[in-house]
Structure 1
Amino acid sequence: MSELEEKTIRSKNIFEGRIIRVQLDEVELPNGNISTRELVKHPGAVAIMAITEEDKMVFVRQYRKPLEKTILELPAGKLEPGENPAVCATRELEEETGYRADGINHVVSVYTSPGFADELLHLYEVQGLVQGVYHPDADEFVETVELTLEKAFQRMEAGEICDAKTVTALHIWKNRKVDRK
């Protein structure tokens, strides 16, 4: 145990939902004091950077209840128990956008909010987009939007693109374009 670790004394599940579980942990701090931690347990997720042959990134426009607004974001979805993230990314891309991809590459995996949640998001890039059949989940209402890098940054500056996964993907896309020059 490092000098910064907190030792869990006890854990109590306080909520179990369809997507998350919330747990309250009592912990011993490195200085010996006792404190509590509210933790969100999440099965993990994927997000997909899909760039068309016209050099446009594919986004979905979706209402997000926690924000009480509609935003543009990468196609993404929750992992099912034991599901391979690349398989999930392929499925979510087609469900949300109708696109299928010829190839898929892992870009990076990041913890979305490590101060209170254990969600690990796997970001993938796909190649060779082919229009398939759009079939979102029954409770999912999305619109597909394709934007150039410049237009996407304008939408980000306007606050329409505002989630961490999508902002991260835009910067990766921009850096890759700069590196190719």
Structure 2
Amino acid sequence: MAERDPWPVVESATEYETGWYAGGYDRVEQPDGTEKAYYWADLPDAVVVLALDGDEVVFVEQYRPAIREHCLELVAGVVEDGEDYETAARRELREEAGLRADDVALLQTFACSTGVLRHERAIVVAEGLTETERDLDDNEFLTVTRVPADDALARARERPANDATIEGVLLARADGYLD
């Protein structure tokens, strides 16, 4: 006999769609029998790229209108239809930083902000970099910045710190890519 779902969804509704993500709620029956609406935003999968160029990490600086600040971040972007994380990492690195990677390695995939987001992120390390043409989107105004690998974590922690950048640096460090 199948066990009953302890959190059955009574109702699910998408309240808005932006073309980039959707938002809505699921009304669920909680284990005590009460019902509650849990709100969510459904975002596409994303990839974050820690690109190693010798003893330097490649960052991009960009203005983030949502927080009204310039941020120093790792290269990142949405995984497009038909792409795996490694392919998306190569494309984003070329588009945003003008770099082609000989080698990419998927370090980790994980769910982000699970209390409100339906969103998976991957961290990929890229090595063996060669300069190529950039191909920025019409809303990307990025400056490429190289940071000594020894300083990458400290720079990632500077305000306004970015979750994806800190995660990428820490995972790369834990896996032996950064000392």
Q: Structure 2 length normalisation: TM-score? A: 0.90
Percent sequence identity is: 26
**How far has the Cα of 1:2 moved from its partner?**
7.6
Tell me if the contact between 2:156 and 2:165 (Cα under 8 Å) persists in the aligned partners: no
Aligned to 1:163: 162
8 Å Cα contact 2:85-2:106 kept in structure 1 = no
Q: Aligned partners of 1:65 and 1:179: how far apart in 2?
A: 31
- Residue 16 of structure 2 corresponds to residue 15 of structure 1: yes
Aligned-partner residue type, residue 42 of structure 1: L
Q: Over residues 66-86 of structure 1, what are the superposed CA-to-partner deviations in whole Å (9 max), with x where a residue is unaligned? A: 111011111011122342222
Residue 153 of structure 1 corresponds to 153
Match of 2:35 in 1: 34
* CA pair 2-65 structure 1, distance change in 2 beyond 3 A: farther
Q: What is the SS of the residue equivalent to 1:74?
A: strand
State how far apart, in whole Å, the 1-side matches of 2:3 and 2:162 are.
33
Deviates more, 1:58-67 or 1:91-100: 58-67
8 Å Cα contact 1:44/1:121 also seen in 2:
yes
Preserved contact between residue 149 and residue 170 of structure 1 (Cα < 8 Å): no
Contact 1:112-1:164 within 8 A present in 2 as well:
no
CA distance in 2, matches of 1:90, 1:150: 24
Counterpart of 1:25 in structure 2 is 26
Deviation per CA, 1:83-125, whole angstroms, max 9, x where unpaired?
A: 2222111110100000000111110012121111111011111
Aligned length: 178
Letter of the structure 1 residue corresponding to residue 8 of structure 2: K
In structure 2, the residue corresponding to 1:19 is in which secondary structure? Answer: coil
Q: Secondary structure at the match of 2:27?
A: strand
How far off is 1:12 after superposition? 1.0
Q: 1:179 to 1:119 in 2, by over 3 A?
A: closer
Whole-angstrom distance in 2 between the partners of 1:174 and 1:8: 40
Does structure 1 conserve the Cα–Cα contact (< 8 Å) formed by 2:106 and 2:125?
yes
What is the RMSD of the two structures over their aligned residues, measured on CA atoms?
Answer: 2.2
How far the C-alpha of 1:176 sits from its partner, in A, is: 4.3
Quickly say closer, same or farther: Cα 1:133–1:47, change in 2 above 3 A. same
2:56 maps to: 56
Contact 2:156 2:162 in 1 (8 A): no
Distance 1:24 1:89 in 2: 31
After TM superposition, the score normalised by the length of structure 1 is 0.89
Residue pair 2:29, 2:36 contacting (<8 A) in 1 also? yes
- For residues 179 and 59 of structure 1, what CA distance do their matches in structure 2 show? 15
- Distance of 2:35 and 2:157 partners within structure 1: 42
Pair 1:2–1:147, CA change in 2 (3 A)? farther
Equivalent pair of 1:4/1:30 in contact (CA under 8 Å): no
Counterpart residue number, 1:68 = 68
- Counterpart in 1 of 2:121? 121
- In structure 2, C-alpha distance between the alignment counterparts of 1:148 and 1:48, rounded to whole Å: 16
**Whole-Å Cα distance in 1 between the matches of residues 3 and 96 of structure 2?**
43
